[in-house]
């Protein structure tokens, strides 16, 4: 489905990002895979490592495609631009962009205003500013190469129903996931004349390290009456990264060549609540 194309994926060292990278490679795409590969802030779980990113590269190459990797923080616009320019030089362009990098602070205590401010800044920095930066560094190269393309931003069901508890990190997560919808709609209009499509995908809980760590389970149990209730129409509490990849692959393929500006839920019907 993607023979001869190249995809740029953020947050690609593991989880949804790795799933996307491997599936797109299996469908013929070369991959530019980036991740921060370092711990920061007060996150209650371990972030990816350089070894995780190496494993993504190994799996992409096992699928028979080229994989360029780089350790970079999506909040650093200049560094991200250098990585993309280098990747374009090696892969011959960028046709697909998956703005996937994300963090989730649920499961930690915020004991001071400094804690609240830091967690808010980390959440919005990675998942809103980071998405803006990701698109900013690829939009002109994609326009200049003149072959169209597709951009998919990973939002969340929390970007449709507003589930959060008011804390800095969790509120920042929901605000960022809502905010990228506005970015998506604006870019869909800006880039549409160049045949570049832009959409968001909105998963429910996905079986990744960001969601399955013990601190989050404890947090959900302790805050069941505080958090916005989550009701699913389908009898599934958690989906797999590959389930999100199914939707992403469709959005970036020619099967969705006239689909742009949409918020696609992969949420077991949470948005119906």
Q: How confident is the model at residue 160 (pLDDT cuts 50, 70, 90)?
A: very high
Q: Is it the case that residue 189 has pLDDT exceeding 70?
A: yes
Q: Identify the pLDDT of residue 100.
A: 98
* 187-211 average pLDDT score: 95
Q: Identify the pLDDT of residue 164.
A: 80
Q: Is it the case that residue 266 has pLDDT exceeding 60?
A: yes
Token look-up 């190496």 returns 54
Exposed/middle/buried for residue 226 (C-beta within 10 Å: 0-12, 13-18, 19+):
exposed
Catalytic: 219? no
Average pLDDT of the chain, as a whole number: 93
Q: Is it the case that residue 62 has pLDDT exceeding 80?
A: yes
Q: Identify the pLDDT of residue 218.
A: 76
Exposed/middle/buried for residue 32 (C-beta within 10 Å: 0-12, 13-18, 19+):
buried
Instruction: Dump pLDDT digits (tens) for 4-26.
Output: 999 999 999 999 999 999 999 99
Q: Is it the case that residue 225 has pLDDT exceeding 90?
A: no
Q: How confident is the model at residue 180 (pLDDT cuts 50, 70, 90)?
A: very high
Q: How confident is the model at residue 223 (pLDDT cuts 50, 70, 90)?
A: low
Distances (CA, A) of 246 to 19, 151, 242: 10, 15, 6
Is residue 156 within 8 Å of residue 176, measured between CB atoms? no
Q: Considering 45, 173, 187, 219, which one is annotated as catalytic? A: 173
Token look-up 């690609």 returns 12
Q: Is it the case that residue 224 has pLDDT exceeding 80?
A: no
Residue-by-residue DSSP string for 27-56: TT-EEEEEE--S--TT-SS----HHHHHHH
Residue 202 φ/ψ, nearest 5 degrees: -125, 85
Q: Residue ranges of the domains in the chain?
A: 6-272
Q: Identify the pLDDT of residue 210.
A: 84
Q: Identify the pLDDT of residue 242.
A: 97
Q: Identify the pLDDT of residue 271.
A: 84
Separation CA 117–CA 158 (nearest Å): 20
Q: Is it the case that residue 156 has pLDDT exceeding 60?
A: yes
HSE, CB side, 13 Å, CA atoms: give it for residue 85: 6
**Stretch among 64-73, 227-236, 237-246 having the lowest mean pLDDT:** 227-236
Alpha-carbon torsion angle 254, 256, 269, 239, nearest 10: 20
Is residue 67 within 8 Å of residue 30, measured between CB atoms? yes
Q: What percent of the chain has pLDDT over 70?
A: 96
Q: Is it the case that residue 229 has pLDDT exceeding 60?
A: no
Distances (CA, A) of 247 to 47, 71, 74, 170: 25, 26, 23, 25
Token look-up 């389970």 returns 217
| 3-class state of residue 74 by DSSP | coil
Separation CA 99–CA 128 (nearest Å): 10
**Stretch among 91-95, 102-106, 107-111 having the lowest mean pLDDT:** 107-111
Exposed/middle/buried for residue 244 (C-beta within 10 Å: 0-12, 13-18, 19+):
buried
Tell me the range of 90-94, 214-218, 228-232 where mean pLDDT is highest.
90-94
For residue 48 the two structure tokens come to 């990816």
Q: Which fold has domain 6-272?
A: Rossmann fold (3.40.50)
Give the pTM. Answer: 0.94
Is residue 253 within 8 Å of residue 1, measured between CB atoms? yes
Measured CA angle at 268 (ends 267, 273), to 5 deg: 85
* 233-243 average pLDDT score: 92
Q: How far is CA 54 from the centre of its chain?
A: 19
The phi-psi region of residue 136 (left if phi > 0; otherwise alpha if psi is between -120 and 50; otherwise beta) is: alpha
């Amino acid at each position: 489905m993607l023979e001869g194309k190249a995809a740029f994926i953020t947050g690609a060292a593991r989880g949804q990002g790795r799933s996307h990278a491997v599936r797109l490679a299996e469908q013929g795409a070369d991959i530019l895979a980036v991740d921060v590969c370092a711990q920061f802030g007060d996150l209650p779980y371990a972030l990816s490592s350089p070894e995780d990113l190496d494993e993504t590269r190994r799996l992409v190459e096992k699928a028979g495609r080229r994989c360029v990797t780089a350790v970079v923080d999506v909040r650093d616009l200049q560094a991200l631009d250098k990585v993309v320019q280098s990747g374009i030089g090696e892969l011959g362009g960028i046709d697909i962009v998956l703005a996937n990098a994300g963090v989730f602070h649920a499961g930690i205590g915020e004991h001071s205003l400094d804690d609240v401010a830091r967690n808010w800044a980390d959440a919005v920095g990675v998942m809103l500013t980071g998405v803006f930066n990701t698109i900013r560094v690829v939009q002109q190269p994609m326009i200049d190469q003149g072959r169209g393309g597709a951009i998919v931003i990973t939002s969340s069901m929390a970007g449709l129903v507003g589930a959060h508890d008011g804390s800095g990190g969790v509120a920042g997560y929901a605000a960022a996931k809502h905010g990228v919808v506005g970015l998506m709609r604006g870019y869909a209009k800006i880039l549409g004349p160049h045949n570049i499509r832009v959409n968001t995908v909105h998963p429910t809980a996905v079986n990744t390290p960001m969601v399955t760590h013990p601190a989050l389970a404890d947090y959900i149990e302790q805050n069941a009456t505080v958090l916005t209730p989550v009701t699913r129409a389908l009898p599934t509490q958690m989906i797999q990264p590959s389930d999100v990849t199914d939707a992403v692959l469709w959005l970036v393929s020619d099967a969705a060549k006239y689909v742009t500006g949409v918020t696609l839920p992969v949420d077991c019907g949470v948005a119906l609540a």
